[in-house]
Structure formats: C-alpha cells, structure tokens
Structure 1
Amino acid sequence: MTHDHDLVLRPTEAQTAAALAAPPGRTGGDLVVETLRSLGATTVFGLPGQHALGLFDAVGRSDLRLVTLRVENNAGFAADAYGRVTGEAAPLLLSTGPGALTALPALAEAAAASAPVLAISSQVPVAGLGGGRRGHLHELRDQAASFRDVVKSVHAARTLSQIPSVIAEAWESALTAPHGPVWVEIPEDVLRSETIVPPVTGMDATPHQLAPRPELTAVAAHWLSRASRPVIIAGGGVVRADASGKLRQLAERLNAPVVTTFGGKGAFPWTHPLSLQSWLEDRHMTDFLEDADVLLVVGSGLGELSSNYHTFFPTGRVVQIEADLGKLESNHPALGIHADARLALQALLETVTERQDDHAPERVRMVLEDVAARLADQDLALEQSLLASIRSALPPRSPSFWDMTILSYWAWSAFDAKHPNTMHSAQGAGGLGYAFPAALGACVAEPGTPVLAVSGDGGAMYSLAELATARQHDLDVTWLIVDDGGYGILREYMTDAFEGRTTGTELTRPDFVALAESFGVPATTTTPDSLTADLRKALATPGPSVLVLPATLRMFAPTHL
C-alpha cells in the first residue's frame, strides 16, 4: 500500500545531468537568482550596497531584468506598483542597515495596499549577527525587528542550503491572500560564498487558497436574498483578487447598489445604474450606507477613509468578507467571513436567489444628485474640470498613480478609473513621494502602455532623483506636477484647525521644467485650459515627460452631522 506522504519526486535524467554538471564559481547570490527564476520572476528592483554586491553580481550574470532606482524607498514603490499591476511577487533587492531602513515607508504602503513585494536584503556576515560585536558598517542589533511589524512575514537564510527554501517560503507568503510584502535577509558572506548546491530547478511556491466556510456564506446569502435595502461596499481586496466580474454579477443578481472604497477604485463600473461611485467622504453617502438593512463589505476593513473618518455607524446587519484576519470586525460587528474575495463572491453567487428591486437605480440616482448639488454650492469648478481633463486625455486602460495631494484626494471620490487595477494611490499608508516611482514600476510591468503620475510640488520633491531612472530606462511615463508652492493639503488642514495659522507648509521649490530638461526629460508648463491637449500629447509621445500645472486647489467640504 502506498501513502501520499511516501511519494517523492524522482529527478529526470536531464535534471540529474544538470546538477552534476553545475558550473564552478556559483555563489549564494546565484542560488537567490536561480530560485527567483525558477519561481517565475523576470524583473527585480533595487540598488546595490556593500553587503549586497554578491547578490547584484549574480543578477548581472543572469537574464533577470534589473531596474535600478536612485533611492531605496522609491525602488520599493516601483516594486509595489509592479506587484499590483501584474499580480506577481515583485523582488526588491536591498543592502544592509540604512539602505534597508530607507525602504520601510514603501513596504508600509505595500502592506496597507496588499501589494506582493519580496524584499531581499543583505545582512552583515554571520559572525557579526547579534549586533555590536564586530562593529560592521551598516550593522543593526536586530535588523529584522525593524521590519517585523511592517511586513507580512519575515524570513532568514543563514546558510547556502537554506536559500532556495527560504525564498520559496517568502514567495508563497507574499502571494497568499491577503497579498503583502515579505522580508528575507541573507548575510553578506553567505551571498558571496561558493556553493556545491546544484542549480535550482522546479521550485514550487503555490499560494494557499483561502476559501470561505460554507455555513457562513449560507447565512450571508440568506440575509442578502431577503434584504429590503442591501448595499455593497467594495474595497481593494476585490481588485487584488481579480474579482470585479463576480462583484458585478452578484450586485446585478441582488439589485444591490455598490460603492467602491478609494483602494477599490474601478472594482465596479462607474456609470452602472447601481454604481454609487466612490463618494465615501460625503455625508449623503454615509447616511445611505447606514440605512442599508444588509451591508455586504467585500475586501475592506472599513478603516478611517472608508468609514468617513469613523463617522459611519451601520444600523442593519453587516457581512464582511476579508482575507486579512485582523481586519474582521475590527471596526464594526459583523458576520465575518475570512476568505479571498473572489472565492467568497463565487460562493455567494452559487447560493443567493435573485432579488427584484425596481427602485434601486432610482435610489442610487437620488443620492448622487444630492452629492452633485452639494458640490455645486461650493465653487469647485476648477478642481472638477481638472479631473475631467485628465480623464479625457488618459487612455482607458492606462494606469494612473496619485500622490498625497489635493487633486488626488479629489480623485479618490470623483475620478472614474474606467477599469479595475488601473488607479492606484498612496492612501493605504499615506506616505509622500509614491506616485512617480510607482508609475515607473507600472511602466516596467506594461511596456508600451503610457502611464500617468500625479503629484503636488511637495510630494514631487521626494522623487526628483527618479527622473534619471525614467530617462535611463526610457520609460513611458508622464508626470503631472500640480505646483501650489507648498504642502497644499496640510496648509488647508492647518488653516481650518488653527485659526488660519500655518507652519512649515510653504516651500521653496525648483523650476521643475528646467530641472526635468536637465535630465533630458521633455517638460512644459500647462494651464487648466490647455491641460487636456498637453496631456494627450505627452502621453502619446514615447519616453518620459513632465507637465507642471501652477494651481492652488481646494478640497470639497462634506456635510457633517
């Protein structure tokens, strides 16, 4: 009798021959590269440092595409975008100490947005581990501790033989729902040492399936099928799980209105009769959601931004589908279903009964009219026209990346993403400098597709060095910089909160056009009237370009309780 656990995979003759004929001089760095290639990686991001040179040498001798940026944090943002756009784990290669720590904000954003980033960092030599004993350059007492509270999982290889399994384990973690960044560190001497481990082939790191429990989806389906006023909140988990089609099927079967969170932009068609769009910072929308007798929340933890700054208090039953166990019922009591959004929506589709409701589209239309009427009373034509100009110029399938700036705050609520997984912002963790380096990562992921980045002048200053990256790799990115002479959103917050006083919000900035041109990147100053034409021209021209829009924008004021 043969048991499954007794079965082993026998090497083929070709695998045996390759293992015995391994070329001399292979190192731990080669094991990293071979494992990544065996797992399907084609591209890596990062920049070298002293302890990581053995790894970069191996990359340089391989067929992996190396995309080097100028700052580790920006390399992390680029890897984040590559992971979001492709759905693959994006390798991010870092050095020890300061180089590794500089990537922390990017990894925090990847964690908040569930972007699969595989960060691989060097470490001081094995004899120096523990901190303070050898006085190595870049030494930290416990480097992994700096990342453990940020990333999804932490992994370490301390010997050559451990490298393939450790990287495969991390890869699997990054791509198991909820996706997220993971951390691997390998000492410098291990990366440089020659190895007798045969070339790595046939690595398997299949992500675990996170299926819903059937008794939970049965109860949820029963509630939804019999609801009088069901509503769906669709979050970023729908986009990450590639579940937009199933979301639409369920909404149409239930005749349930759908609002998308800022991280879930594009998960539901903007102009669909059941679409509430993304007006989550509007009190009219909050009231509408609170009135639902059954609220289905898919792929969202209903955090600060998704709950109108925690002013949202549902009065009916709540069903929450969430792959991140820590987010289940973390803000509101609910029937929590710990599952991948795609699998859970499929289970509901197989269980719910069709629900007739001829009034649902009319209820949607009325609340959107209330939102529009509120905006019409606030003299915000400039802000709305700028978004309309961008939408008109940007091809429907082109990805856009938005920094933490006033126009981006508008876009969260008011911009039609057209398609899922095409609009991305830093609203997960809220760090500045995300848009431009992330857009570069998307350019690498989708060569030949024009990509847009939108920043304020304050956020742009975090990313200026990457103009050199855009030029070096000739990436098809257009960078729109809205220049209002400072940190515009902070200026507005402080003005409102401190009787008109602002501190530290006004900035001296460069001539962005001249600066971009000094990198060999075409640049021009645009106006609200010429933005559509200038943006279309820039997006249609291969290679990088910069548009600078001098404008002072205002946020809309939502109604309050």
Structure 2
Amino acid sequence: MTHDHDLVLRPTPAQIEAALNPPPGRTGGDLVVETLSGLGATTVFGLPGQHALGTFDALRRSPLRYVGLRAENNAGFAADAYGRITGEAAPLLLSTGPGALLSLAALQEAAAASAPVVAIASQVPAAGLGGGRRGYLHELRDQQASFRDVVKSVHTARTPSQIPSAIAAAWESALTAPHGPVWVEIPQDVLTAETTLPVVTAMDATPEDVVPRPELTAVAAHLLAHAERPVIVAGGGVVRSDASGKLRALAERIDAPVVTTFGGKGAFPWKHPLSLQSWLEDRHTTDFLEDADVLLVVGSGLGELSSNYHTFAPRGRVIQIEADAGKLESNHPALGIHADARLALQAILETVGERTDPTAPERVAAVLGRVRDRIDAQDLGLEQRVVAAVREALPARAPSFWDMTILAYWAWSAFDARHPNTMHSAQGAGGLGYAFPAALGAAVADPSRPVLAVSGDGGAMYSLAELATARQYGLDVTWLIVDDGGYGILREYMTDAYGEATGTELTRPDFVALAESFGVPGVLTTPDTLTADLAKSLATPGPSVVVLPALLRMFEPTHL
C-alpha cells in the first residue's frame, strides 16, 4: 500500500542549504517568475504597468523570455496562439484596471477556442481589495467580476506565500481539458514586498485526464458498427487533443464520411475519399448530415457555425464526445460522452467492429460535386483564385491565422489546411484584430517555419501597432491584408438585410508605405501575382506585408 507521505520527495542536502539561504533582494514578483519557470514556462507575453512593476522587475533575474506587445488585447491574442501551437500554457502578464480590461476580447477568444492562457494581473494594494473605494489609480470595485464569466477559473494571492499555489492551481486549470484561459490577481504591495521564502523549484500541476466512461464508449462502438449511414463531425477538440490519427483510423474502420468544422480544420485529410471537407454553410452538406442514422460528433458543441446557423436537425442517433461538460447535448439530444477526444476515440477503436461500405466514397463525391456546382454557378472565380493562390504559396506545415474577413469566411469552407493545428481563426468568439498578433505568438512558439496572417483592411487597423513588435523581435510573419475599402463582410450583411450599408466605409492608410515606416518590407500585389508575392515574402526571413486590393464576395447562404 502506498501512503501519501511516501510520495513526498526528500530534499537533498544541497537543496536544504539553498532553501535556508535564499538570494537577497527577492520580492513577490520573483515568486511569480520562479513559479512559472518551475511549471515549465519558457516565454511570457504582456505589457508592464504601474501596479505590475514588481513582476516585470523580477523578469530581469529570470530565464523567462519576455515578448512585449503594444496593446493588451494583442498580447492576449499572441499568448492564445502560443498556447494553440505548443499545447502548453501561455503566461500573460498584465497590469490593473484599463490594462487588464483591454485583454478581455482576447481572453474571450481563448475561452471559445480552448486555448490555455494563464493571465496574471496586478491589483491595487491589498488594503483596497473587497469593494471599498480608496481612490487608487486603475481601481475597480471588483476586477475579478469582469473576468469571471470569461475565464475558466479565478485565483487570488493576497500574501507572498500564496503566490506559488495560486499560479499552480491556475496552470492546472488552464491545461485540464477543455483547455482555456484562467485569471490570477496579485496586489501591487504583495508583488513588491521583499520575501525570504525559498526560491520556488519544480512545481507539479499535472492536469487530470478527462477519461470516458467505458459503458458509454461500448454503446457508441456498437451503434457505429451497426449503422447503415454513419457520419462523423470532427471539431476543434480533435485538433487540440492530437486525435487526428485516431479519427482517421476510426473513419476507415467503419467507412464513415467525415466533415470537419471550421475549428477542426486539418483534423482529417482534405482529399481523403471519405472527406466531406468543411462545407458546413451548404445545404447539401447539412442534408447529408441529417440523413445519417448515426452521427458521431467529436470535439464540437454543434454551435451556430457548425450547425449551419442552427438549421441542422438530425434525424438519426447522435453520439457526442466533448471535454466541456456544459456543451454536452446543449443543442441536440445525444449519447453524451464527457471525455477528451483522443481518449474517447481510442476507447471506441478498441471495441468497434469493422464495417464495410463501398458506396461511402461515391456518396461523398456526389455531395462535393453538388457543392462545386452551386459555387460555380455564382460567378465567384476571383474568390476561388485568391483562396487557391494563398494555398499554393503557403508551405504545407506553415501555420496560418485568419481574422474575421471575407477571405477567412471562404477559407473556413474552401481552404485545405493539409495538417492538424495549422489553420486558426477568430471564429470562436468572432472578434476583429486577431490574425496578426496571433501570428506573432505562433512565430515565437515555433521560429522554424514562416507564419501567415490574413486580415481585411478593417481588421488590420486593430493591429497596426504590432508591426513594431514584429520588427523588434524579427518575427517571421507575413501579413496579407485584403483591402476592400471597409468592413466588407458587414457591408454585405447590411446590404442584404437592409438594402444599403451604414458605417462600413473606411479611410485607410497606404499599408505598404506604413509597413515600410516600421522597417517592415511591403508589396502591393494583384490576384495574378499573389502566389509569387506571397511565396517570396514567406521565404524571406523576418516580417513582411502583402497588400491585395480586391472586392471579394461571399457565396450565397444555403441554410434556408
């Protein structure tokens, strides 16, 4: 029998000596950066602020790499992308009040996309906590209240000795499936107070696996093996749990067609005979999914976009595998399996019988043919050429980050991501300004390959300041800006709904000249030269900007 005290590691004499004689001059801020290092962090994102100076001063004495952006929401987007690319928690260091609040949009995107971000913010001095109004700069009555509905968990350290445990608990929460952002607050005087506590060493914050119940996976395996028309919907959870190999093995074992959601791009090979690709905003795909007698939904809540704007009405049995218990059966009755996608797919693979259906590839090809015919009938050659040009220029394993722009809406349906975890967009929460700062975070996470960011001119205006960040750190990001003179997708929505648009036309800078003023090379391209210009920029180390003046249109909606 193992007792708890048997698991406690005995310190060595050298460790005891170090603990008894910590270096002088350390503060609560040192406990923050030591804890992050002990948890395995190597990089932190953020911006300094008056109340957070104790933490930022401690960075000087830390091996952590600091990447500073020019606005807190952009720092949050960069941390989000770092978490998506590495699968590790990304620390985000913030100040109090306005600086903290500016990160909310980024944390909402991280929550919607299940990106593990550990936001560590300062607070007013401890005497000001609890709702009193003492007149501190940046003071909020209850700063946590602004974040509690967005993040997975909230943690507070009111004394230096509480700092390591608070950050470790937040770290574990961020990395427990489903991943997500968490919030830690530490008062200014706690961060600046000198401490004689020992240096924080390795911390254990290993998350618990979300394991499926075996009786549920046994029923799922039986239903799939005996289905007449099984279909699989693969969501972002398949990508995040690194389950694409198991997904393919299951699909091939039971000859089940697979459609990937916009968040699940790359989870299944685009040109596989069983691939329905990602045409979720198409009634032909919706009809095919509704006709399935058993529909396996893995890592998706079947939300608005994945359900063709809630017009999808399944007629067969639904099996839903989801790590977020709150999303189980939230939109459709199902055999709900609360589990990590990889573990659940593995359990089903261990028991599912083989099923053969030689007609499945033919039925898939027929649906894709009808989708192609519908698109081809709408005079959208320019849009398809631009999507194809981006795909041709982008190396197969290079990650891409897409803002909420018409080209991204096309890419959700029509872009071949080629590999899992290579295509990311802001469709989780739908905010503007995501692509470029997120791409910077990805370049920090993996400098071995170039990164592409795609924005419209409206979304680009949110992130122009980060050209300075790209230049300062020499990050290998190519930023494609599609300039259509305003908020193009809103222009379409309003014109369709009301006959004309309001507030969508924008005055823009000369993006090429602006980029060059930051010391970032820029080029003005055309649809005909886009592939060559993008490929050249992606092949050239360091940041670059490619501007494409083009008025793109969306394909007609088919959810009615």
TM-score normalised by structure 1 residue count: 0.99
Work out the CA distance in 1 between the residues paired with 2:501 and 2:7: 69
Work out the CA distance in 2 between the residues paired with 1:302 and 1:2: 44
Which residue of 2 is the match for residue 272 of structure 1? Answer: 272
Work out the CA distance in 1 between the residues paired with 2:6 and 2:317: 49
Give the superposition deviation at 1:5.
5.4
Work out the CA distance in 2 between the residues paired with 1:274 and 1:298: 16
Indicate whether 1:506 and 2:515 are aligned: no
Give the superposition deviation at 1:434.
0.1
Work out the CA distance in 1 between the residues paired with 2:272 and 2:191: 54
Which residue of 2 is the match for residue 302 of structure 1? Answer: 302
Work out the CA distance in 2 between the residues paired with 1:271 and 1:426: 25
SS at 1:452 equivalent? strand
Letter in 2 for 1:252: E
Native 8 Å contact 1:448 1:476 kept in 2: no
Letter in 1 for 2:158: R
Which residue of 2 is the match for residue 233 of structure 1? Answer: 233
* Change beyond 3 A, Cα 1:560–1:443: closer
Work out the CA distance in 2 between the residues paired with 1:487 and 1:193: 48
SS at 1:421 equivalent? coil
After superposition, what is the alpha-carbon deviation per residue over 1:508-542, rounded to whole angstroms, capped at 9, x for unaligned?
11111111110000001000000000001000011
Give the superposition deviation at 1:2.
6.5
Which residue of 1 is the match for residue 533 of structure 2? Answer: 534
Give the superposition deviation at 1:168.
0.5
Letter in 2 for 1:97: G
Give the superposition deviation at 1:425.
0.1
Letter in 2 for 1:391: R
Give the superposition deviation at 1:15.
1.5
* Change beyond 3 A, Cα 1:560–1:36: closer
Which residue of 1 is the match for residue 357 of structure 2? Answer: 357
Native 8 Å contact 2:281 2:559 kept in 1: no
Structure 1 unaligned blocks of 5 or more: none
Which residue of 2 is the match for residue 23 of structure 1? Answer: 23
Work out the CA distance in 1 between the residues paired with 2:29 and 2:491: 48
Letter in 2 for 1:186: I
1:186-225 paired onto structure 2 within 5 Å:
186-225=186-225
Indicate whether 1:521 and 2:520 are aligned: yes
1:543-558 paired onto structure 2 within 5 Å:
543-558=542-557
Which residue of 2 is the match for residue 257 of structure 1? Answer: 257
Give the superposition deviation at 1:6.
6.3
Indicate whether 1:319 and 2:334 are aligned: no
Which residue of 2 is the match for residue 65 of structure 1? Answer: 65
Which residue of 2 is the match for residue 480 of structure 1? Answer: 480
1:367-382 paired onto structure 2 within 5 Å:
367-382=367-382
Native 8 Å contact 2:35 2:200 kept in 1: yes
Work out the CA distance in 2 between the residues paired with 1:333 and 1:556: 31
Native 8 Å contact 1:109 1:428 kept in 2: yes
Work out the CA distance in 2 between the residues paired with 1:6 and 1:370: 65
Native 8 Å contact 2:311 2:559 kept in 1: no
Work out the CA distance in 2 between the residues paired with 1:456 and 1:350: 46
SS at 1:263 equivalent? coil
Work out the CA distance in 2 between the residues paired with 1:554 and 1:108: 28
Which residue of 2 is the match for residue 3 of structure 1? Answer: 3
Letter in 2 for 1:386: V
Native 8 Å contact 2:48 2:95 kept in 1: yes
Give the superposition deviation at 1:131.
3.6
After superposition, what is the alpha-carbon deviation per residue over 1:368-413, rounded to whole angstroms, capped at 9, x for unaligned?
0000000010000100010100000000000000000000000000
Give the superposition deviation at 1:196.
1.6
Work out the CA distance in 2 between the residues paired with 1:448 and 1:343: 30
| Greater mean deviation of Cα atoms: 461-470 or 551-560 | 551-560
Give the superposition deviation at 1:7.
4.9
SS at 2:242 equivalent? coil
Which residue of 1 is the match for residue 460 of structure 2? Answer: 460
Work out the CA distance in 2 between the residues paired with 1:295 and 1:5: 48
Letter in 2 for 1:342: R
The count of residues paired between Structure 1 and Structure 2 equals 560
Which residue of 1 is the match for residue 287 of structure 2? Answer: 287
Letter in 2 for 1:536: A
Native 8 Å contact 2:92 2:118 kept in 1: yes
Which residue of 2 is the match for residue 14 of structure 1? Answer: 14
Work out the CA distance in 2 between the residues paired with 1:155 and 1:38: 18
Which residue of 1 is the match for residue 332 of structure 2? Answer: 332
After superposition, what is the alpha-carbon deviation per residue over 1:279-331, rounded to whole angstroms, capped at 9, x for unaligned?
00000000000000000000000000000000000000000000001000000
Native 8 Å contact 2:90 2:116 kept in 1: yes
Letter in 2 for 1:70: R
Give the superposition deviation at 1:449.
1.1
Work out the CA distance in 2 between the residues paired with 1:491 and 1:533: 30
SS at 1:120 equivalent? strand
SS at 1:196 equivalent? coil
Give the superposition deviation at 1:62.
1.1
After superposition, what is the alpha-carbon deviation per residue over 1:255-289, rounded to whole angstroms, capped at 9, x for unaligned?
00000000000000000000000000000000000
Give the superposition deviation at 1:18.
1.5
Work out the CA distance in 1 between the residues paired with 2:283 and 2:17: 68
Work out the CA distance in 2 between the residues paired with 1:59 and 1:414: 44
Work out the CA distance in 2 between the residues paired with 1:8 and 1:544: 48
After superposition, what is the alpha-carbon deviation per residue over 1:404-447, rounded to whole angstroms, capped at 9, x for unaligned?
00000000000000100000000000000000000000000011
SS at 1:506 equivalent? coil
Work out the CA distance in 1 between the residues paired with 2:42 and 2:2: 39
Work out the CA distance in 1 between the residues paired with 2:408 and 2:7: 55
Which residue of 2 is the match for residue 124 of structure 1? Answer: 124
SS at 2:363 equivalent? helix
Work out the CA distance in 2 between the residues paired with 1:346 and 1:412: 28
Structure 2 unaligned blocks of 5 or more: none
* Change beyond 3 A, Cα 1:16–1:443: same
* Change beyond 3 A, Cα 1:524–1:214: same
Work out the CA distance in 2 between the residues paired with 1:403 and 1:535: 17
Give the superposition deviation at 1:205.
0.3
Give the superposition deviation at 1:4.
3.4
Which residue of 1 is the match for residue 50 of structure 2? Answer: 50
Native 8 Å contact 1:112 1:428 kept in 2: yes
Native 8 Å contact 1:132 1:139 kept in 2: no
* Change beyond 3 A, Cα 1:76–1:386: same
Work out the CA distance in 2 between the residues paired with 1:238 and 1:7: 34
* Cα RMSD for the two superposed structures: 0.9
Native 8 Å contact 2:308 2:559 kept in 1: no
* Change beyond 3 A, Cα 1:2–1:446: closer
Native 8 Å contact 1:131 1:139 kept in 2: no
Give the superposition deviation at 1:63.
1.2
Give the superposition deviation at 1:134.
1.4
Native 8 Å contact 2:279 2:414 kept in 1: yes
Indicate whether 1:469 and 2:469 are aligned: yes
The percentage of counterpart residues that share the same residue type is 83
Letter in 2 for 1:555: M
TM-score normalised by structure 2 residue count: 0.99
Native 8 Å contact 1:45 1:93 kept in 2: yes
Letter in 2 for 1:37: S
Native 8 Å contact 2:404 2:426 kept in 1: yes
Letter in 1 for 2:515: A
* Change beyond 3 A, Cα 1:2–1:536: closer
